[in-house]
Every structure is written in C-alpha cells, then in structure tokens.
Chain A
Amino acid sequence: MKEIVIISGKGGTGKTSVVAAFASLAQNMVLCDADVDAADLHLIMDPNIKQRHDFESGHTAVIQQDKCTQCGLCRDLCRWNAISEDFVVDSIECEGCGVCWYFCPEEAIDSPLNNCGEWFISDTRFGPMAHASLGIAEENSGKLVSLIRQEGKKLAEEKGLDLLITDGPPGVGCPVIASMGGASAALIVAEPSVSGKHDMERVAQLAAFFGVPAMLCINKFDLNPGMGESMEAFAREKGINVLGRIPFDSAFTKAMVEGMTIMEFNGDSEGAKAIEVIWEDLNQRLQQ
C-alpha cells in the first residue's frame, strides 16, 4: 500500500483543493484528512458518516476544593503557572503533566481524561474516508493525526485498496510530523511568493529530516513566474521532483462554493487540466 501526504508549509496554498481533485482521479483509494485542527476536506467530500468515535487523550488536573489544604506545593511545582492563587486549575494552561496530582499530599487533585474531539469513518462518492474533528483549543492533534492515518490504512486493508491520499496540516510542527512519518512520499503544494518559498524550503527540510521523499507542485504559478521558477530550481537542487504548475484559476473557488472538486465542476478548466497532468506523473512515480 502506498501513502501520499499532501503538505504545504504555508497555509492556504490549495492542499485541500488538490487532494479533492486527486480523489476524483484516483482509483482504489482511501482518503484521509489529517488537518484535524481545521479540517475542510469534508466540505467537498460530503461524507456519509458510518462510524463515529470519541477521541480521548491526555488529562487535566482538577483540584477538589473540599480536600485541598492550600499548602501550595502544586503551585510551586507547576511549570505552566496553571494553578491560581485560590487553587483553581486553568484548564487551558494545564499541560496534563501529572506532577501536581502525583505530589499532592492530600490526594486532592483529580486527573480526568480529556475528550479532545471525534473521529469518523465515512463513505464518499470517491471512496472511503477517515477524518476527525479536534475539539477547539485542544491539544494532542499529533496523536489524532496518527490515529486517523492508522484508521485510513486499516480501511484500505479491509477493502483491498492500495492507495491512501492524506490531506496534511500546514506548518512544520507536531501535526505535520505526525502526518508525514512513514509515508511513501510527500507532495508539497506551494505558492510562488516570498512567503511560499520560505515555507516550502522549511517543509522540504522537514521531509528530508524524516526521510520522506518529497515532490513539488506550484499552485497559482502565473502570479509570480520568476519566483515559481526559483522555487523549482531550489527543489531540483535538493533532489525534489517537480511535478508541475497549476495556473491561478477561479474555477477552484467556484468549485469549492458548489461543494465540488474542480474535476467535477469543470474538467476542461486550466486548473483541472494541470492537475490531471500532475496526477498522472504522481501516480506513475508511486507505482515505481
């Protein structure tokens, strides 16, 4: 089984629109939305949810006021300044490290498990999909990303499918690392701008750091062709395969508004044609 993860470094470069378009073109595929923090793929995929599960991870300290003697030890030990002067835990600041409840001499601190969100197994018009919704302001998005990818792989095995297409999160931190480890390849969707270049270079370094072969395609290429070319040159220098250029095309936004992939909305649009070429190349490389 192969897994291609779509990443970008910078947010808003068009990862999800590209993933949705690939879903239109791919055969025998499972979709995985690993951008659990701000998941958008379902807005195009309109998933029919078959299974719904709670995602529980980590703990938060809760001080039982009737047992607490206000000795102050927990406040001294807490490195997050999460305990107020009147001994109430700020659940946003609490890291769940366990130091306070371990050391409390009165055993006055509970540590309930956090319900951090939900994850789903769904059917879509293109194939099965594993996706999730992280609770707002919750932690452990990396763990949820790992779980979603595992569930995606299980789905593929059960149904005898041989490709996982994973929509990754922006950035280079914990959820991106979790979305990338062990993938067959990472496709970086970048935009031709000073920020797009800076961020593409960082996420390419991250892929190299974790030994995941990277590929590049530049979206909205015509907004700054000179910048796009310099990004492609950087990629080639680093051994990153350049798969193609996607022109700026308002059909992407129009398709999104209609809840469609660009292939469904207008398969003859410039954007759709460019993606078809990129997909064929990507698919061939994945088979090698």
Chain B
Amino acid sequence: MIISVASGKGGTGKTTVATNLAISVDGAVQLLDCDVEEPNAHLFIHPEIEKTETQLTPVPEVDMKKCTLCGKCNDICQFKAIIVIGDTVLPFHELCHSCGGCMEVCPEKAITETSRELGIIEHGRKNGLEFVHGTLRIGEAMSPPLIRKVREFTRPGMLTIIDAPPGTSCPVIASMKGADFILLVTEPTPFGLHDLKLALGAVKILGIPCGLVINRADIGNDRVRNYAQSEGVPILMEIPFDRKIAELYSRGEMLVEAMPEWKDRFKELFHRIEEIRS
C-alpha cells in the first residue's frame, strides 16, 4: 500500500506525520521523501545512507557541422528551449523538458542528447526502515522529474509512505498520483482551511480515498472540522498544540520516541487507514 502524506499549506506537519507513522507501523516499511525542494525527513530519521546517485535528465546538443538551420527544432519546441538565431542554434538547457522532440524532428540527425543534473537521490536504512529521498539541485526549476525518480524506488508488497511537497500543482500531483491513500495534514486556521480545500480538490481529481490529520488542533477555530464533516473526509488523528512537541520538533527529535504514548496513536492511525481501504 502507498500512503502519500500531503497538505496544501506548508508547515502543517507532513514530515512529522510521515516520519512518525513510518517508524510506528510494524512490518516492512519504506519512506520516500518526495519534497525534493526542501527534504526534511532525514533530519528526523537519521538514516545510514548506503547509496548516492546523481540524477540527470536528457537535453539537446547540436552538431553545427550537420545542422542546416532548417528551424524544425525551433518550431517543435513548446518551451522555447532551442532557438535558431542567425547562423547558429542555441539550446537553453534549463528550459528543456526533455521531451526529445527536437532530436526526433531533426532531418539531419544533428541533435544528440547530453544531460542536465536534476539533483541527487540518496538511499539508505534506519533499523528496519528503508529510506529514500531526493534533493533538487539549487537552481534547478523542475522538481517532478526528480520526484518520479524517487518514486521508482517504490517496492510492491511493502508499506510505502510518501512525504509530499506543499501546494497543489505539478510536484504535489507527482507525489500523490498512483497512491492508495492520501493522508492530508492541516491546521485549523483560515490559511489551513483554504489550502485544505485546494488539496482536497487535487485528491478528488485523482480519485484517491483520503483522511485528515489536524495538527495544532486546539488553535484557530472549528471551521476545518466542520468542512471535513461536510465533505465526508474522516478526521483520523488530532495532534494538540503543545510547546513541548514544537520544541522536540525543532531539535529534530521524533515524537514517538520522546513521548512513547504517541506510538500507539500512530499505529491506530494506520489501522484506521487500513479499515477505510478495505
């Protein structure tokens, strides 16, 4: 089963929920941190990294000896990533989406592929937990290709927990698509509610069952609870605002280790997800 932990609004506690869930559940579990722009799960799990791989995406390179300046590459590219100017062809690697169109269309076979670095993927373990995360290269704009590469580590037969990035656009979709369950984490504030509505919209487009964790449950107001009820989204767990929890988090400590009573609550959360799924 794949559970993707997502939120809409940032900083609501996705990583707290994903990491604590991952170490509380019995059996074979893997945690994939797909928030490749700002991956944080490793700061709590402290995995032993066994393998680091640089991830590349193909981009065009033009052999000007073969090029006849016909301009077909310029015309097919939807992203203005290859442009014919005067007597030369300029590829803009940072804009390239790696579709291969320019290479395919070139009648002179003057275009080959070189690569642009997306970032790195690290793969390791902590006790029984398998851990994978991606780190986007600073300056790289496109995170979905790296997210998809992190997700290639998904192994059937295991429980896969995905820590998704905030928002509702393409990186979030890349982290939720194909999951069996979406666990939305929010806080009961106007910003939390507004972004929860957006996140739920994305979940509905994907047609995946979901449930809600309300973090800092005693701040703000009741509108998130009322909204969840009206939408038929089950509230699976509430975590109160507790300065002690916030301070533990700030030091990179795991909630279930510092406050062991939470371990059973995370196990219970998983059982409720299993019940909904069956």
Q: How large is the interface on B (under 10, 10 to 19, 20 to 34, 35 or more residues)?
A: 35 or more
Question: Contact between A171 and B38 (Cβ–Cβ < 8 Å)?
Answer: yes
Known: A97-B78, A139-B170, A224-B250. A198 touches B104 (CB 8 A): no
Question: Contact between B99 and A38 (Cβ–Cβ < 8 Å)?
Answer: no
Question: Is B136's CB within 8 Å of the partner chain A?
Answer: yes
Question: Contact between B246 and A136 (Cβ–Cβ < 8 Å)?
Answer: no
Partner of B191, one of A8, A16, A198: A16
Question: Is A273's CB within 8 Å of the partner chain B?
Answer: no
Question: Contact between B8 and A171 (Cβ–Cβ < 8 Å)?
Answer: no
C-alpha gap A194/B228 in the complex (Å) = 31
Question: Contact between B38 and A9 (Cβ–Cβ < 8 Å)?
Answer: yes
Question: Is A205's CB within 8 Å of the partner chain B?
Answer: yes
Question: Is B140's CB within 8 Å of the partner chain A?
Answer: yes
Q: How far is the CB of A187 from chain B (nearest CB, A)?
A: 17
Question: Is B166's CB within 8 Å of the partner chain A?
Answer: yes
Known: A37-B169, A92-B177, A95-B99. A12 touches B250 (CB 8 A): no
| A residues less than 8 Å from B15 (CB atoms) | 195
Question: Is B64's CB within 8 Å of the partner chain A?
Answer: no
Question: Contact between B9 and A12 (Cβ–Cβ < 8 Å)?
Answer: yes
Question: Contact between B165 and A171 (Cβ–Cβ < 8 Å)?
Answer: yes
Question: Is A202's CB within 8 Å of the partner chain B?
Answer: yes
C-alpha gap A223/B242 in the complex (Å) = 11
Known: A173-B171, A198-B43. A142 touches B141 (CB 8 A): yes
Q: How far is the CB of B120 from chain A (nearest CB, A)?
A: 13
Question: Is A169's CB within 8 Å of the partner chain B?
Answer: yes
Known: A96-B78, A102-B105, A256-B191. A10 touches B40 (CB 8 A): yes
Question: Contact between B250 and A98 (Cβ–Cβ < 8 Å)?
Answer: no
Smallest CB-CB separation from A44: which chain B residue? B190
Give the residues from 147 to 181 in chain A that come closer than 8 angstroms, CB to CB, to chain B: 169-177
Question: Is B142's CB within 8 Å of the partner chain A?
Answer: yes
Smallest CB-CB separation from B177: which chain A residue? A92
The 8 A CB mask of A242-262 against B (1 = contact, 0 = none) is 000000001001001101000
Question: Is A40's CB within 8 Å of the partner chain B?
Answer: yes
| B residues less than 8 Å from A43 (CB atoms) | 190-191, 194
Question: Is A213's CB within 8 Å of the partner chain B?
Answer: no
Question: Contact between B76 and A102 (Cβ–Cβ < 8 Å)?
Answer: yes
| B residues less than 8 Å from A138 (CB atoms) | 169-170
| A residues less than 8 Å from B252 (CB atoms) | 193-195
Q: How far is the CB of A221 from chain B (nearest CB, A)?
A: 11
Q: How far is the CB of B246 from chain A (nearest CB, A)?
A: 5
Question: Is B240's CB within 8 Å of the partner chain A?
Answer: no
| B residues less than 8 Å from A256 (CB atoms) | 189-191, 220
Give the residues from 74 to 121 in chain B that come closer than 8 angstroms, CB to CB, to chain A: 76-79, 97-101, 104-105
| A residues less than 8 Å from B243 (CB atoms) | 223
Question: Is B260's CB within 8 Å of the partner chain A?
Answer: no
C-alpha gap A172/B140 in the complex (Å) = 8
Known: A37-B169, A43-B190, A224-B247. A99 touches B104 (CB 8 A): yes
Partner of A58, one of B78, B142, B194, B221: B78
Question: Contact between A253 and B142 (Cβ–Cβ < 8 Å)?
Answer: no
Question: Contact between A193 and B99 (Cβ–Cβ < 8 Å)?
Answer: no
C-alpha gap A165/B33 in the complex (Å) = 32
Partner of B166, one of A58, A99, A170: A170
Question: Is A88's CB within 8 Å of the partner chain B?
Answer: no
Question: Is A192's CB within 8 Å of the partner chain B?
Answer: yes
Question: Contact between B101 and A98 (Cβ–Cβ < 8 Å)?
Answer: yes
Q: Which 5 A/B pairs are nearest by Cβ-Cβ distance?
A: A11-B10, A12-B11, A97-B99, A171-B37, A193-B250
List residues of A whose CB falls within 8 A of some B CB: 8-13, 16, 37-38, 40, 43, 58-59, 77, 79, 92-93, 95-99, 102-103, 134, 136-139, 141-142, 169-177, 191-196, 198-199, 202-203, 205-206, 209-210, 220, 223-224, 227, 250, 253, 256-257, 259
- A sample of 26 inter-chain contacts (CB < 8 A) reads A10-B40, A12-B10, A12-B11, A12-B166, A38-B10, A38-B167, A40-B9, A95-B97, A97-B97, A98-B99, A99-B76, A99-B99, A99-B100, A99-B104, A134-B169, A141-B169, A169-B167, A173-B37, A173-B141, A173-B142, A174-B141, A175-B169, A177-B139, A194-B40, A194-B43, A223-B243
